[in-house]
Amino acid sequence: MIIQGLAFYLFAIIAVASAVMVITARNPVHSVLWLILTFFNASGLFLLLGAEFLAMILIVVYVGAVAVLFLFVVMMLDLNTVTLREGMTEYLPIGLTVGLVLFAELAVLFGGWVFSGTVEVSRASPTPALSEMTNTEALGALVYTDYVYLFQASGLVLLVAMIGTILLTHRVRPGVRKQKIADQLARGRTVELKKVQNRGGI
């Protein structure tokens, strides 16, 4: 129990601290890296709750895809954090109000869940105990049997999305240099060393 408690406070403190760093870091690339740390810690919290599937998905989807996408965007847009911060004090009250409203709503939701007498009834399909079946197994048992039609249909929707993206964006341009490994290996003795002037290019 005590180890669980320690682990919870470790993950929670690091998550909050790195979340603060996300919005205070001067370098936007650092912000994204702090964000990734936040995701990792949130995923640790999910593990402590026994929701191992959510923990894995958080890492695979948010760290693996979303954060990397953010990183690309940040690197391509050449953001200037100093100009971004200019209106900070102006917007702070609005931001705080929105935060407060969200917090109050969460409190109402949580309070309703805890103090309402009908909680047990309204859980239409309760999750099985972890000792019987893991989350992943329980989800798989539903998705691949009862909902296999919807699962496959979603797969087709994603396939069409992929075809569409490639169709609309992929074009064969002249003058694109692709790496041809066979050609590179076949160069043999013709490899030569050139002295390239600094910042001069070839």
Partner 1 sequence: MTALGNIAPAAPEVFMAIAGMALLMIGVFQKGDATKLVGWLAVGVLVVAGFLVLMAAPETVTAFNGQFISDRFAIFAKVLVLGASALSLVLAMVWLAQEDMKRYEFSVLVVFATLGMMMMVSANNLMALYLGLELQSLALYVMAAFKRDSVRSTEAGLKYFVLGSVASGLLLYGASLIYGFSGSTSFPVLAEVLSHGTPTGVIVGLVFVMAGLAFKVSAVPFHMWTPDVYEGAPTPVTAFFAVAPKIAALALFVRVMMGPFADLVDQWQQVIVLIAILSMLVGAFGAILQSNIKRLMAYSSIGHMGFALMGLAAASPNGVRGLLIYLAIYIFMNIGTFAIILSMRQKGRAVEGVADLAGLSRTMPGMATALTIFMFSMAGIPPLAGFFAKFYVFMAAIEAGFFTMAVIGVLSSAVGAYYYLRIVKVMWFDEPVDTFDRPAMTNQVVLWGSAAMMFVLFIWAAPLIAGAQMAALSLFPG
For partner 1, the binding residues (CB under 8 A) are 124, 144-150, 152-154, 156-157, 159-161, 163-164, 167-168
Between 125 and 198, name the residue whose CB sits nearer to partner 1.
Answer: 125
Nearest CA among 7, 16, 104, 2 for reference residue 46? 7
CA distance 35 to 58: 12
Q: How far is the CB of 158 from partner 1 (least distance, A)?
A: 9
Q: How far is the CB of 170 from partner 1 (least distance, A)?
A: 10
Would you say 111 or 155 has its CB closer to partner 1?
155
Cβ contacts of 151 within 8 Å, gap of 6 or more? 143, 144
- To partner 1, the closest distance from the beta carbon of 49 in angstroms equals 26
Contacts 24+ apart (CB under 8 A), 164-169: none
Shortest spacing between CB 174 and partner 1, in angstroms = 16
Radius of gyration of the chain, Cα coordinates, nearest whole angstrom:
25
The residue among 73 and 141 lying less far from partner 1, judged by its C-beta, is 141
Integer Cα distance of 7 and 3 in angstroms: 6
- Residues 20/35, Cβ–Cβ less than 8 Å: no
What is the nearest approach in angstroms of partner 1 to the Cβ of residue 31? 29
Nearer to partner 1, 6 or 148 (CB): 148
Residue among 84 and 160 whose Cβ is closer to partner 1:
160
Handedness of CA 150, 152, 153, 155 (dihedral sign): positive
